[in-house]
Structures are given as C-alpha cells and as structure tokens.
Amino acid sequence: MAKNHNIPEYKAEWKAGEEGKWGMAIDMDICTGCNACVAACAMENNIPFVGEEDAGYGRGMHWIRIERLWEGKYPEVKTEFQPVMCQQCGSAPCEPVCPVFASVHSQAEKLNVQVYNRCVGTRYCANNCPYVVRTFNWRDYDRPEPLNNQLNPDVTVRQRGVMEKCTFCVQRIHKAQDQAKSEGREVFDGEVQPACAQACPADAIVFGRIDDPESRVSKLAKQGRGYKLLEDLNTLPQVTYLKGGSHVRNG
C-alpha cells in the first residue's frame, strides 16, 4: 500500500534532554506490601515524623508510599500493592510551574530535582504532579533524642515551608560515581541502590541505568509485563511497573 504522506506518522520518542538515564522497575507481582521501602526511605532521607494527628489529616511526608488497592467485594477480595514514588518524569509537569526554578531538570543526571534552598513554598508543583508524590513541610517537626543521632549527614534537613520529594537517592548515585571515578572505571550495574530497593526483601524494586540496554532494569522493563503510571499524560516517567506474570499473589 502506498504510504499516505498527508498523514503524519506518530512515533513516541524522547526529545533531547528528556531521555532517561537512571530508572527503576517495580515488580508488582512480587511486592508483598511490607512497607520496608517506606521505612528505609524515611531513614535514608531524613524524612520527619509528623505525628499521628497530622498523618491522619494527610500530611504524612513519605517520599514513597505503598498504595493498597482492593479488588472485588468481601469475601472475594484481592489486594494489590503499588509502591509509588516520584516517577522522575522526562517531561515533568511540576517543573515549569515553579516561579523561582526550585523544581528543575538536572541535565547531568536526567533527574527531576527539587532545590530546597530555592523553594518559597507556593506548592504549585505538588498540584501539578499527577502522581501526588510531592510532600510539603507543613511545620518544623522535631526529632526527640535519640532520633537526632539517626540523621543522615549526606542529606539536607528541610525547613518548614519547603517542598520535597523522592530523589532516587541521588546522594548514593553520587557516592558510587565518585568511587568509580577514583578507581578509574564506570559505575557497574547494581552498584547504586536507593534505600527502597536495598530494603526490599522480595527484590521487587530494581534500580539502574535505563540508557544501558544490558542493565537488569532495562531487561526487566522490556519483558512485556511493563507499563508506566498514567502513561497517556506523556510525562515520560522513568519508573516501569511490571505486572501480569504467572506468580500467584497473596489474596
């Protein structure tokens, strides 16, 4: 059939500057919803404890959450667990709306970064995030003794009135890159692990280079089980969810 040149051909592709570098694959078929990733993330990234009342009012500050979704009606209920964190969109809706460039795209890491020092707290980025993963410092939360000893020196502690979100543990990425550089080599696959992936007992979270077709995360993403959250919004997320395998899940 002759090609009709009047109709443009659609091909989804990343524009320059949007293509991913670091990415994640999350296997929903083996996630048990144990919340270890949530705890590990809070420890690693100095996320404050907001207390019972604020948490109940929707002010919990976790950078990663396990969405527990029920399917069917009791007693025929199935549970599904979906860990959701910042998807590090290549074309991130949160970025252009910030009036002071506190939410910007890192050209080096191809990550969506939040500049705490620059944030003035308009919270527009959070409203424009379709994944609702940005958390705000509603107050200055205190860390009573001895919890202050647990603070991670690699991560900034944020002030009240500042927006924050998952960074893909960028401090660990940098540490691994520095280590590799001092040893005169490339960062190898699996060398960098964000806290959530490290803590996952089921190994449901895999992290690595998605621009390297040989990495574990790239191979998993290409398995055929992969999909992205709210893919139709064209935010170009860098987290791939895997689902639909032969594993029998709980429930």
Q: Which residues make up the interface to other proteins (CB under 8 A)?
A: 15, 17-18, 54, 57-60, 65, 67-69, 82, 84, 90-101, 103-105, 107, 118-124, 126-128, 130-132, 134-140, 159-163, 230, 233, 235-236
Contact in structure between 44 and 152 (CB atoms under 8 Å): yes
Please report how close the Cβ of residue 251 comes to other proteins at its closest, in angstroms: 17
Question: Which CB atom, from 26 or from 236, has the smaller least distance to other proteins?
Answer: 236
Look at residues 228, 178, 231, 249 and name the one whose alpha carbon lies nearest to residue 24: 228
What gap in Å lies between CA 164 and CA 7, rounded to an integer?
Answer: 43
CB of 26 to other proteins, least distance (A): 15
How far apart are CB 65 and other proteins at their closest, in Å?
Answer: 8
Return the number of the residue (42 or 92) whose C-beta is nearest other proteins: 92
Question: 150 φ, ψ to 5°?
Answer: -85, -10
Residue 61 near residue 55 (C-beta atoms within 8 A): no
Give how far the C-alpha of residue 203 lies from the chain's centroid of Cα atoms, to the nearest Å: 16
Residue 41: CB minimum distance to other proteins, A: 16
Choice between 101 and 188, CB closer to other proteins: 101
The Cβ of residue 224 has, within 10 Å, a number of other Cβ atoms equal to 8
- The structure tokens 């919270």 sit at 123
Minimum CB–partner distance for residue 17 and other proteins (Å): 6
**Token pair listed for 8:** 């443009």
Any bridge partners for residue 39, and if so which?
A: none
Comparing CB distances to other proteins, the nearer of 142 and 178 is: 142
The owner of tokens 């205190």 is 142
What's the N-to-C CA distance of the chain in angstroms? Answer: 50
User: Which residue's CB is nearer to other proteins, number 90 or number 172?
Assistant: 90
**Of the two residues 134 and 209, which places its CB atom closer to other proteins in the complex?**
134
Nearest distance in Å: CB 10, other proteins: 17
